[in-house]
A and B are shown apart, each in its own frame.
Chain A
Amino acid sequence: MAQTHKKKTPAPKSSARDERWLRFYRQMVKIRLFEEEVNQLYLGAKMPGLAHLYIGEEAIAVGVCEALRQTDYITSTHRGHGHCIAKGATLDKMFAELLGKAAGYCRGKGGSMHIADQESGNLGANAIVGGSTGIATGAALSARMRGTEQVAVCFFGDGALGQGLLYESMNMAALWKLPVIYVCENNQYNEYTHYSETTAGPLIARAEAFGIQTEAIDGQDVRIVHQVAVRSVEKARRGDGPSFILFNTYRFHGHHVGDVDRAYYRSKQEEQEWKSQRDPIQILAHWLLKNKLADSSALAQIESTIAAEIKRAVTDALEAPYPEIAEVRQHVYA
């Protein structure tokens, strides 16, 4: 399905900048509805395996990826659908991959946790926590060696702060001033354990120790996210080295779709507070309405248009064929 983000007819008073916020809104809604559909596929036993939903964290993927060019790189995580969509993945190929179909981004060989899309600069979601921190840093080194202006964004969660590879990578990125931005999405939980039980000291100090520019930011307000991301991306592109951005956010759903009984590690009240007060889509919607950049019917229109896109994409993916059996031995070696 073609995903077009450009508005053909801007409203009379809206500037390009206003249009941009509406695009951000559209992208966040797209991720939200995609993930809700994924959850339905799981609950309906239509999807093999599991998925880790990004619901609640949409502002980070969108705010950051909107600061990037198509040729820039990202690496993603097991909770990666949002990053992929924000960087330009199309819904039909996403659904097809999650369903193990040949039309998927990886011909059904990767699945939810391994979506890669060279054309949109997505070097792949990664199911090893922190596993892509070297890859993103290597892509940044490569961009510099090839003399391009590309930058690399490395998305990871608070869990990756426990992995040594991150520190080895950040050390080299700082030493060599590589164009890489480390984006830590602190959704509060390493799987089923609050990060405060696993992570000593101030989180931000871990990057500061390497002399990397760091910022700790609210990850629920996409406008703030974007502003900081733009600064970091410009810095990297200028050749002024890496940044580390710590976004405070929340995973509205469980660690994965099957994690429905969560009371033993977090309270319903906590979840409710985040959902009712810190929903990134609601925060942007509220701002758009307040500043009269859109009215509620326009937002509802966006939502229903995307819902229709999602429905089409998932229907196509459900009907799409599985890979030929012979493909099991293909692509082991290039």
Chain B
Amino acid sequence: MRVSSENSSISETKIRQITFAQAINEALAEEMRRDPTVFIIGEDVAEAGTPFKVLSGLVKEFGTDRVIDSPISEAGIAGIGVGAAMTGMRPVVDIMFGDFLTLTMDQLVNQAAKIHYMSGGKLKVPLVLRTTLGATRRSAAQHSQSLHAWMSHIPGLKVVVPATPYDAKGLLKSAIRDDNPVVFFEDKMMYQLKGPVPEEEYTIALGVADIKRVGTDITLVATSSMVQIALEAADSLDRADISAEVIDVRTTVPLDKETLIGSVRKTSRAMVIDEGYESYGVTAEIASVIAEGAFYYLDAPVRRMGAMDVPIPFSPVLEDQTVPTSERVVETALVLCKKR
């Protein structure tokens, strides 16, 4: 991470290097200590601590009453989460793989997202649903998708796509305190990624993008692990004398349009990188926001790069073709900057 607005303000405090998974774990533990209405429900969340071991140790501190192992019933636990959230609790529902969101869709889309509106603002659903996204784990088509665009399409849901341990912790704490249903996507390939996280408590507001690297020639807008890809690409572009600005949107809903448009008005070129399917996806939405807000400042068409529009294949040689890479980002950026 090169530049982070928050990092400057926390430079006085003790900073540790912890993993993305530890950051999530700390956020949950801190919020559960702070607020007795926060609880976790999901498949193998207690003793097992999830297959990715993200929740290890939480059941020891909080017991099985607050870290609840559920049957393999994604729709059921989503529904139970909605009902508990409407009646005074702050559930954190764990959906092991983002692909399984399909099983929760009615409860998220028709219930959680609409209850506040349908009730004329009377009922609230302070629910967090944590799940994963991201390919290249050789898990094939039903355990590798990035479906955050689906959630971002539905008014009433907030959608978080953190890219660093620091952001993951601060955003998850805000998500838990938010009075709306929040879907929180963790790239499973980033769980072991380490990054600086202060010891002292902090939160990060939902809806504020972060300029991860300042640049002047092209804006690379990215989400989740694609921020890491964009930062790698920015390093390579630097060697070709192209100064790339990297913006991490951090939340697709609410979307910080102002920061995106402001950056592109400065750089005049933009690329959007996201691991969801390219068609009808997050890259399309962000590209249109940029086109509408910075059209007269653009020196080149806005380019976007998402996951290939295919079911994620198993074979590594095939799977690796489906996701954006820093090399491909660099190639496209060079073309946009007329260096190739």
Contact = CB atoms under 8 A, between A and B. Distances in A.
A128 B110 contact: yes
Contact of B79 (A114, A134, A145, A175): A134
A109 B120 contact: yes
Contacts of B77: 172
Given A110-B119, A145-B39, A334-B116, A137 B73 contact: no
Interface string A280-304: 0000000000000000000000000
Nearest to B156: A332
Given A116-B122, A333-B156, A164 B88 contact: no
B101 interface: no
B117 A331 contact: yes
Nearest to A136: B83
Contacts of A104: 120
A164 B76 CA distance: 9
A139 B118 CA distance: 18
Interface string A322-334: 0000000011111
B155 interface: yes
Contacts of B83: 75, 123, 134-142, 152
Contact of B116 (A132, A137, A142, A333): A333
Contact of A135 (B39, B79, B120, B121): B79
Given A106-B122, A124-B123, A131-B111, A165 B79 contact: yes
B179 A334 contact: yes
Interface residues of A, number: 45
Given A134-B76, A141-B80, A118 B111 contact: no
Chain B interface residue bracket vs A: 35 or more
Interface string B16-60: 000000000000000000000101000000000000000000000
A107 B87 contact: no
Residue of B65, B117, B120, B125 most packed against chain A (CB within 10 A)? B120
Interface in B135-160: 155-156, 158
B168 interface: no
A58 to B, nearest CB: 25
Contacts, number: 149
A278 to B, nearest CB: 33
A188 to B, nearest CB: 25
B121 A107 contact: yes
B213 to A, nearest CB: 31
B82 interface: yes
A110 B117 CA distance: 8
Interface in A71-120: 73, 75, 104-110, 114, 116-118
B71 interface: yes
Given A165-B75, A168-B75, A172-B71, A128 B123 contact: no
Contacts of A75: 83
B312 interface: no
A138 B85 contact: yes
Contacts of B82: 134-135, 138
A134 B80 contact: yes
B110 A131 contact: yes
A304 B119 CA distance: 32
A334 B121 contact: yes
A106 B119 contact: yes
A306 interface: no
3 closest A-B pairs (Cβ-Cβ)? A134-B79, A138-B83, A168-B76
5 contacts: A107-B121, A109-B118, A117-B122, A137-B83, A138-B82
Interface of B: 37, 39, 65-66, 70-71, 73, 75-89, 91, 106-107, 110-111, 115-126, 155-156, 158, 179-180
Given A138-B86, A142-B88, A152-B83, 19 more contacts: A75-B83, A106-B120, A110-B119, A116-B115, A117-B122, A138-B87, A141-B84, A141-B89, A142-B84, A143-B87, A145-B89, A146-B88, A165-B75, A165-B79, A168-B75, A331-B116, A331-B120, A331-B121, A332-B155
